[in-house]
Amino acid sequence: MDQDVSEAVLVEKNLFPSIGETDLVDKNHSAYQKEAVLEDKTKDNQKSGEEQQFTFCEFHDESQLKVLQSLIDKELSEPYSIYTYRYFVYNWPDLCFFALDGDRFVGVIVCKMEETMEGVQIGYIAMLAVEVEYRKRGIGKALSEMAIETMAMKDAAMISLETELTNKPALALYQSLGFIRERRLLRYYMNGVDAFRLKLVLHDSSMLPLSED
């Protein structure tokens, strides 16, 4: 799925204190922030000087499930069943964030966290999607930063994800957030496209599981 990789300035309101474990997370950004103004850096809005305000919220209940599914299914190279979505949002509802323009849901990120046998918390970004007409406004980056900071606050030592080899906007977004390429996964998707597995190490790298060959 394409990602929103434009430069944006996040103007915070009523922020909780931010964490200090990693310099990869914006120190002025909180996962519990509910409102933000994203200053659009696209050419059109540079001319007009307009600012677009979006709100962000966590997943709450079943009524949001079809909205989530609709946002993501538009962008996927392979569809997920409703049970896949339920697996994530009911086990980790506090790691699913929506972006809204008024009452309209325009973006979503879905993540999870699990503990290894060594007791290390590992985060995972499973899905990220932004409506086509809302890209290049910083929404994808803001959602990613919220997810990263929330997992860091929950003591995640590392966050990983997979994205298509051909998805250059997604690769650019995640690399701008500090992710590095761990390995290439051949024919990872049902459409036959390879994937890159990316990882963001937050702390305690000596305790992290070794990557597979």
Domain architecture of the chain: domains with CATH: 8-207 (3.40.630.30)
So what's the pLDDT on residue 205?
A: 57
**CA nearest to 114, candidates 127, 95, 98, 97:** 95
Coil, strand, or helix at residue 82?
helix
pLDDT tens digit sequence for 50-90? 556 899 999 999 899 999 999 998 877 667 889 999 999 99
CB under 8 Å to 15, separation ≥6 — which residues?
28, 29, 30, 32, 33
Average pLDDT over residues 190-205: 86
Q: Quick one: pLDDT band at residue 48, thresholds 50, 70, 90? A: very low
pLDDT tens digit sequence for 88-134? 999 999 999 999 999 999 999 999 999 999 899 999 999 999 999 99
pLDDT tens digit sequence for 133-174? 999 999 999 999 999 999 999 999 999 999 999 999 999 999
CB under 8 Å to 52, separation ≥6 — which residues?
37, 38, 40, 45, 101, 137
DSSP3 helix / strand / coil % (the chain, rounded to 5): 30, 30, 40
Looking at residue 210, what DSSP letter applies?
A: P
Question: What is the pairing mode between strands 121-130 and 104-115?
Answer: antiparallel
Q: What is the Cα–Cα distance from 175 to 60, expressed in whole angstroms?
A: 30
